[in-house]
C-alpha cells in the first residue's frame, strides 16, 4: 500500500505537474522519480507518434496529388520513376519509424499501466466529438466493472443520486465554462462502499474543448481513517471541555474559600501595624511589612483567579455592542487610578459596533489599557493610540499601541499564558493573569488576539472581533 503523500505526488505527475518531493523519504523520492521518467517518456512517445502520423498524412497527400498530376498530363512512367522511388523510400523509412515508435509506445503504455496499479490511480478521457469514453485498466478495477460494462447507465448506478447529479453538473461546467473540478465521490461496488477522489480538466483544440480528461483514486482507507480521527477529536474535545469546566469550578471554589482567612491575616496585620508598631523593634517592623505585602499580593492573585474562572463558567449575554462606550468607560476606570495622568497622551479612533458581551469587552480594554500605562510608566511621555480597520470577512481589527518598554518577540507564545510574565515583579508589578483573561474573553467571542513589539519602542496589541453573530455565518 502506497503512502498517501506518495499517491498525491503521483496524482500531480499524471496531471502533468512537477511535484515538490519535500517530506518524502529517500526511497519514496527515488520511486516517484522513476515513475516521473515513465510518465515523461510516455508523453514524448505519444507526441512522436502523433508527429509521425502527421508526416505520413502529408506524404500520402503529396503522393495522391503527384499521381493525379501525372495522370492529368499523361507523363510517361519512365520520367516519373525517380520521383516515385524517392516517395517510396520516404514512405518505407517513415513506416519503419512508426513501427519503432509503436513498439516503444506499447512498452511505455505497459509501464504506465503498472505505475497506475501501484499508485491506485485510474485515468480516463471523453472525446467530445465522438462521445466515446476511454478508461485505463485501473479505472475498471476501482469501479469493479468489466470493459463491456462501461455505459453511462451502468456507471451512474455506482453513485448515489446526489453524487451523480453533482458529477454531471461539474462535467457540464468543465465543457461549457472550461472549469476543472475536484470532488470526493461515494460509490457502491458489489455491495461495498468506496470513496473516490476524482479530478478532471478540459483539453483544448484551439479555443474549443476537444475532450475532458481525468483521474480517479481510491481513498477509502484514508477517508474512513480521517472520519474516525474526527470522531475521536470531537470526543476528546468534549472530555477536555468537561474537565476544564470541573477544574474552573474547583479553582473558583478554592479561591473563594481562601479569601476569608486572607482577609483575617490582612486585617490583623494592619491592626498590629496601626496599634502596636511602636512596640516592635526594627526586625519586627520588617517582618510585619513582608506579611502585609505578601498577603496583599496573594489577595490580588486570588481576585484575578476568580475573575479568570468566572469568565470560563459564565454564559455571556451577546448582543450588538457600542465599542465607543465600552472603551470610554474602560479608559476612565484605568486612568482614574493612575498617578501620573499629566504624562499621558491618547488618540482614540471612533470605533464601530461589534457583536459581543459588553461587560467582558470592558474587561478586555481595562486590561489592555492598564498594560499600556504600566509598561510605559518609565517614559517621559506616555502615548496610547487606539485604531481599527474593518475587514472583508465581517470582522473589525482593533489595535491598542503604546510607546512602552516592549518585549522580545521570541517570547510571544508565553504572552497569553496564566502566570506567564516577561518582566520581573521588581520592574513592573503584577500576577501574570491579565492577558490570559483577555485571550479567554476574545476566544469566547470567536475572535483572535496577538501582539507585535520591539524592545524599548513599544507594543501593539491586535484584537479581531466579529461585527455580526459568528454563529449565523462563519467569520474566521
Indicate the pLDDT class of residue 322, thresholds 50, 70 and 90.
Answer: very high
- Widest pairwise Cα distance in the chain: 145
- The answer to whether the beta carbons of residues 320 and 353 sit under 8 Å apart is yes
Q: Would you state the pLDDT for residue 460? A: 92
The Cα 15–Cα 20 span in angstroms is: 14
pLDDT at 458 over 60: yes
Q: Would you state the pLDDT for residue 400? A: 92
- The answer to whether the beta carbons of residues 466 and 394 sit under 8 Å apart is yes
Indicate the pLDDT class of residue 72, thresholds 50, 70 and 90.
Answer: very low
Grid cell, residue 130, equals 465522438
The torsion angle over the Cα atoms of residues 167, 169, 170 and 173, rounded to 10 degrees, is: 160
Q: Which residues contact 443 (CB under 8 A, 6 or more apart)?
A: none
Residue with cell 476524482: 198
Indicate the pLDDT class of residue 294, thresholds 50, 70 and 90.
Answer: confident
Residues pairing with 464 in the sheet:
397, 448
pLDDT at 13 over 60: no
CB count in 10 Å sphere of residue 146: 9
Q: Would you state the pLDDT for residue 387? A: 92
Q: Would you state the pLDDT for residue 135? A: 86
Indicate the pLDDT class of residue 117, thresholds 50, 70 and 90.
Answer: low
Percent of the chain with pLDDT over 90: 9
Give the pLDDT mean for 336-354: 87
Grid cell, residue 467, equals 461585527
Amino acid at each position: 500500500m502506497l503512502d498517501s503523500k506518495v499517491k498525491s505526488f503521483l496524482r500531480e505527475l499524471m496531471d502533468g505537474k512537477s511535484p515538490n518531493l519535500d517530506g518524502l523519504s529517500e526511497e519514496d523520492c527515488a520511486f516517484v522519480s522513476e515513475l516521473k521518467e515513465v510518465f515523461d517518456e510516455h508523453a514524448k512517445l505519444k507526441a512522436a507518434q502523433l508527429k509521425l502520423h502527421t508526416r505520413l498524412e502529408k506524404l500520402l497527400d503529396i503522393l495522391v496529388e503527384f499521381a493525379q498530376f501525372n495522370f492529368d498530363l499523361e507523363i510517361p512512367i519512365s520520367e516519373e520513376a525517380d520521383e516515385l522511388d524517392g516517395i517510396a523510400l520516404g514512405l518505407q523509412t517513415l513506416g519503419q519509424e512508426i513501427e519503432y515508435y509503436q513498439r516503444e509506445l506499447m512498452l511505455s503504455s505497459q509501464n504506465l499501466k503498472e505505475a497506475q496499479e501501484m499508485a491506485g490511480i485510474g485515468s480516463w478521457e471523453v472525446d467530445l466529438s465522438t462521445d466515446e469514453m476511454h478508461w485505463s485498466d485501473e479505472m475498471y478495477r476501482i469501479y469493479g466493472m468489466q470493459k463491456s460494462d462501461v455505459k453511462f447507465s451502468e456507471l451512474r448506478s455506482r453513485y448515489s443520486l446526489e453524487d451523480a447529479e453533482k458529477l454531471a453538473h461539474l462535467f457540464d461546467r468543465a465543457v461549457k465554462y472550461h472549469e476543472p473540478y475536484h470532488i470526493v465521490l461515494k460509490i457502491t461496488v458489489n455491495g461495498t462502499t468506496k470513496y473516490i477522489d476524482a479530478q478532471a480538466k478540459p483539453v483544448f483544440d484551439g479555443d474549443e474543448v476537444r475532450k475532458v480528461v481525468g483521474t480517479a483514486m481510491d481513498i477509502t482507507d484514508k477517508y474512513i481513517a480521517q472520519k474516525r480521527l474526527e470522531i475521536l477529536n470531537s470526543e476528546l474535545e468534549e472530555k477536555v471541555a468537561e474537565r476544564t469546566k470541573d477544574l474552573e469550578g474547583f479553582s473558583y471554589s478554592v479561591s473563594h474559600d481562601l479569601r476569608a482567612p486572607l482577609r483575617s491575616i490582612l486585617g490583623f496585620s494592619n491592626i498590629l501595624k496601626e496599634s502596636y508598631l511602636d512596640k516592635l523593634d526594627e526586625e519586627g517592623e520588617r517582618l510585619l511589612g513582608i506579611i502585609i505585602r505578601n498577603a496583599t499580593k496573594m489577595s490580588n492573585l486570588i481576585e484575578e483567579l476568580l475573575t479568570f474562572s468566572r469568565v470560563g463558567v459564565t454564559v455571556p449575554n451577546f448582543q450588538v455592542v457600542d465599542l465607543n462606550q465600552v472603551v470610554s468607560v474602560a479608559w476612565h476606570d484605568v486612568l482614574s487610578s493612575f498617578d501620573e495622568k499629566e504624562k499621558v497622551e491618547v488618540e482614540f479612533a471612533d470605533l464601530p459596533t461589534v457583536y459581543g458581551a459588553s461587560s467582558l469587552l470592558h474587561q478586555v480594554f481595562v486590561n489592555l489599557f492598564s498594560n499600556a500605562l504600566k509598561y510605559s510608566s518609565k517614559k517621559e511621555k506616555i502615548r496610547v493610540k487606539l485604531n481599527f480597520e474593518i475587514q472583508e470577512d465581517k470582522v473589525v481589527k482593533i489595535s491598542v499601541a503604546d510607546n512602552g518598554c516592549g518585549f522580545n518577540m521570541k517570547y510571544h507564545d508565553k504572552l497569553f499564558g496564566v502566570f506567564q510574565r516577561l518582566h520581573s515583579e521588581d520592574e513592573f508589578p503584577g500576577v501574570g493573569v491579565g492577558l490570559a483573561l483577555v485571550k479567554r474573553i476574545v476566544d469566547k467571542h470567536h475572535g483572535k488576539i496577538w501582539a507585535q513589539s520591539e524592545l524599548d519602542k513599544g507594543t501593539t496589541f491586535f484584537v479581531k472581533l466579529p461585527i455580526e453573530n459568528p454563529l449565523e455565518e462563519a467569520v474566521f
